Amino acid sequence: MEQPPGETEKVVERHVKLINKYGLHARPATLLAETANGFGAQITIRKDDQEVNAKSIFGIMMLAAESGSTLVIRAVGDDAGEAVASLEALINKKFNEE
């Protein structure tokens, strides 16, 4: 069972706009999940009212986020800042697609 973040746990949240041409299809979802899995923090991605585990490719794909969508990346843990920064950079580089 997940515990709520304690007073000493780091929580980082950022709003990021998808700017790649095709949004979150299989390849970007895989890159996001692989990147998220490199961190110990608990990481979620939210689009509108749907929130998924950022370490799950299928969860990310379930967001059906199209180009222009705004995502909220939230991480809780010691490496939360680095995790969010890495995911944000990947999105801002358009998943190296263009």
Catalytic residue among 11, 14, 22, 25: 25
Mean pLDDT of 42-61: 98
pLDDT in tens, 59-83: 999 999 999 999 999 999 999 999 9
- The yes-or-no verdict on residue 6 having pLDDT over 80 is no
pLDDT at position 9? 84
Mean pLDDT of 45-69: 97
| Cα 73 versus chain centre, distance | 5
Name the CATH code of domain 11-96 (choices 3.30.450.40, 3.30.1490.190, 3.90.1150.10, 3.30.1340.10).
3.30.1340.10
Residue reference for tokens 């689009």: 47
Model pTM score: 0.89
Residues 6+ apart with CB under 8 A from 65: 18, 23, 24, 47, 71
pLDDT at position 1? 44
**Any idea where the domains of the chain sit in the sequence?**
11-96
15 is catalytic: no
